[in-house]
A and B are shown apart, each in its own frame.
Chain A
């Protein structure tokens, strides 16, 4: 039997009615191992205006580089209580903020390790299906050989890198720019 996947539709302006119950902006509960990081940013439309009716979802491995998922069969430890999932709504100015732990390296195509990254889905009114992107961390030696970063034109790679916020330990800024100069790279899987 062969079927085609159901068509995507926008979340619309009232997404939070159905989705807010699962909002999680502290992805790593206390006690989870790893380097704590916080990431803040804005979701910006083609006029540079914040998107107030949107949200991002985050999916990530633990600090060892293992996903809490049955198909991750690597011999690495799972952290009890760490699901690796976050859902963060944007506020009326399009801003979002979450905290987590920096994930470890996970295997990529051909067994080459991927640089630490967060998998991101962006949902909003005005988007008929969600957008897929990633957040990488600055200064990681593995970024140079990351199989996905390598596919991105060099001039656009910076849109996937969180920026360290000066004067604050392990605090980063990462924005989703939907159009124009510095338009965020989105992936097609």
Chain B
């Protein structure tokens, strides 16, 4: 166990605070006591391991989960999972979920007056490959209203959940689309204080993954926490 290396602390401004008043629901759901800063132990430097037996090949294509194709603009969402040292994160589980093209989720608590699409469930998953690459086929999600403040609308987004190699690399985030006029009004997007870090939540239009006469491509690279260069003992944590 002696050579395990710690994961780096977040760079200031690149991660949200738990208490973020513009997102009203944080008010009753954030800790009010300071977090207890703790050493990283074997328990946090490990985490669940998933493999190809956990996902079906077809799970990455959200347009082929029903009898017919869903309504909406078909898109490719692809990218790489890297760590903070720029190394690919191979064979890691990626889960996504999203609204349909009209901005509606097939969920009992979603009361938005927009049509459900019987051919779209809005959930997918895949494993990154040996180089950390992943690829989803889906439709472009719609924007939708929510009740955070007067005339509040969420920009189009896709939820992403990733594990990485350790409990400490667990990440849940949201991917946005370039040029969305709602971004600057969105408390979720704006909760990342650092502008460069915030912009990295926005995917990039990508000719490389665009398929002629079939689908536009968007690139979304995801960075998980990376390890310090020196083993923990030397850091005297």
Per DSSP, chain B at the interface is loop
- B58 contacts the other chain (CB 8 A): no
Please judge, given known A-B contacts A4-B223, A7-B197, A71-B46, whether A119 and B25 are in contact too, CB under 8 Å.
no
CB-based contact B84/A68 at 8 Å: no
Residue numbers in A under 8 Å from B16 (CB-CB): 7-9, 128-129
Per DSSP, chain A at the interface is loop
Please report the C-alpha to C-alpha distance between residue A49 and residue B28 in the assembled complex, in whole angstroms. Answer: 10
- B174 contacts the other chain (CB 8 A): yes
Residue numbers in B under 8 Å from A68 (CB-CB): 48-49
- B44 contacts the other chain (CB 8 A): yes
| Chain B interface category by residue count | 35 or more
CB-based contact B31/A17 at 8 Å: no
CB-based contact B96/A18 at 8 Å: yes
Min CB distance B51 to A, Å, is 10
| Chain A interface category by residue count | 35 or more
CB-based contact B172/A11 at 8 Å: yes
The one of A6, A59, A123 that contacts B173, using a Cβ cutoff of 8 Å? A6
- B198 contacts the other chain (CB 8 A): yes
Residue numbers in A under 8 Å from B230 (CB-CB): none
The one of B35, B43, B47, B165 that contacts A186, using a Cβ cutoff of 8 Å? B35
Pick the interface stretch among A30-38, A145-153, A165-173: A145-153
Task: Name A111-141 residues within 8 Å CB distance of B.
Answer: 111, 114, 117, 119, 121, 123-132, 134
